[in-house]
Structure 1
Amino acid sequence: MWFWNRDRPREWGRAHVPFDESTLPRPKFLTVAEAVEEGLLLTEYASRMAVKNRFLIRVLAGHEPWELARGQGIARDILQSLARESDTDADNLDRLIEKFSDNPASARDAHGYTHDDLPNMEHRRDVSREVARRLREQSADEAFLIELVSTARRDAWREVASNIEHNLDLENIPVDADYLKHREQRMRRLIAEDLAALSSRSTEELAPAEYGDL
């Protein structure tokens, strides 16, 4: 049996007030500059992963040495490709903006845009244009390319070392507290010494004429 709480005032007969969406705080949208910076973080990650994968596939699997200049060329091509994609997005948005500006009653497009979305489309177009411009700047910045390639190379070595360590762990090796305690130290030593020495030795043994295109 349910009992009414005597200390709680009764609300019987109180008129129901419909929900008013306009009372909600308006969402804060990113400025073009803020959205561009977020976009560049994503493109930097994507380009670094792409360079890392090229390193793993063409160098480690193919037994080819890694040259910084070749790595920079790969990174430059990837950044320019991302810039072209961003420009293509902006071009598509330009066409949609023109379509809905000329004919506000145009049918909803495949992505769900209507005339009401013009401000959002213009914002996205401006972001895409600026991202493309900044990516082309990065592709011509030697210091940026060197840092990108160096970071991708370190990521690749870490992945190789992690796979080697994992495979070793699958063997019948006694695992105790001391083994686990020093695992991270062994990983760093493997990356810094063993794999680096292997890379250096491979580079010395292969003549320049034998270098494959990365």
Structure 2
Amino acid sequence: MGKTSDAVAEGVSIASAAARLAVRNHILVETIAHDESFDTAEVTPFAQATLIALAEEQEEAAALARKQRKHAWGKFTDSDGTHDYRDRDMRNLRKRERQYRGVAKELRNRAADAEAVSDLVDQARDAAWGDVEANLQRRLRVEGMRADVDPDYDTMRGARMQALRLVDLPKLSAHRRRLAEGEALQAAEQDERAAESRTEAEPM
């Protein structure tokens, strides 16, 4: 990959992280704060709009770089500040414009890709569930209070129920299957070792 491609890839990575954060926060607000069930159909348009908004930001940055490049053309005097560009800066400004447009193009492509949007929603949901789970575990460790003495029990119970709605049950089921398979394999290995020990202990 060239330097421009590397810069575009880095920009897309940063924008993707920002999109996940925005969608995660949206999920937390809509499911926990508003006491609603997690709804992929509701979150998907928001995820698409987030990607498009980020693409528009990149396009605006590209337009600004283009404007700055035109303004810098033919200027050879000393610069008066960081953003007071001169003719010698035109190459970097042109490169910057290409990078911004490259990031914007990729973000728009992802917004139009149903699978990419679905992946974004899944990642954001997992992040939201991780936040909720961590907060609940931290509260339980710190307080360790019973329902009859915890004034916030009802509120936290509602939060726990909402948290369960964020769990990816197929993933949880697959995780449990892997654990069961691992335990079965471990038990089989122990039985095999025990059989070998008995064989070695038997008199010839």
Q: Normalized against structure 1, the TM-score is what? A: 0.65
How large is the RMSD of aligned CA atoms in angstroms? Answer: 2.5
Residue aligning to 2:65 = 93
Residue 148 of structure 1 corresponds to which residue in structure 2?
Answer: 120
Distance in 1, Cα, partners of 2:127 & 2:98: 33
TM-superposed deviation, 1:113? 3.1
> Residues of 1 paired with 2:68 and 2:165: CA distance?
55
Q: Give percent identity, aligned residues only.
A: 27
**Residues 194 and 101 of structure 1: CA distance in aligned 2, closer, same or farther (over 3 Å):** closer
> What is the CA–CA distance in structure 1 between the aligned matches of 2:163 and 2:54, rounded to whole Å?
31
Structure 1 position 125 matched with structure 2 position 93: no
Residue 66 of structure 1 aligns to a residue whose secondary structure is coil
Aligned to 1:43: 15
**Equivalent in the alignment of 2:163:** 195
* Residue 172 of structure 1, CA deviation: 5.0
List structure 1 runs of 4+ shifted beyond 3 angstroms.
Answer: 102-110, 197-200
Structure ranking higher in helix proportion: 2
Match of 1:9 in 2: none
1:121 to partner: Cα distance: 1.0
8 A contact 2:36–2:162 mirrored in 1: no
**Aligned equivalents of 1:197, 1:107: Cα separation in 2:** 57
Q: What is the aligned partner in structure 1 of residue 83 from structure 2? A: 111
Q: Which runs of 5+ in 2 are unaligned?
A: 146-159, 169-204
SS of residue in 1 equivalent to 2:73 = helix
TM-score normalised by the chain length of structure 2: 0.68
Which digits, 9 at most, give the CA deviation of each residue in 1:152-199, with x for residues without a partner? 0011011001001111111258xxxxxxxxxxxxxxxxx9x9933587
Q: Which blocks of at least 5 consecutive residues in structure 1 are unaligned?
A: 1-29, 174-190, 201-214
Aligned length: 153
Q: Structure 2: how far apart are the matches of 1:39 and 1:83?
A: 11
> CA–CA distance in 2 between the matches of 1:76 and 1:116?
39
CA contact (8 A) 2:31 2:162 kept: no
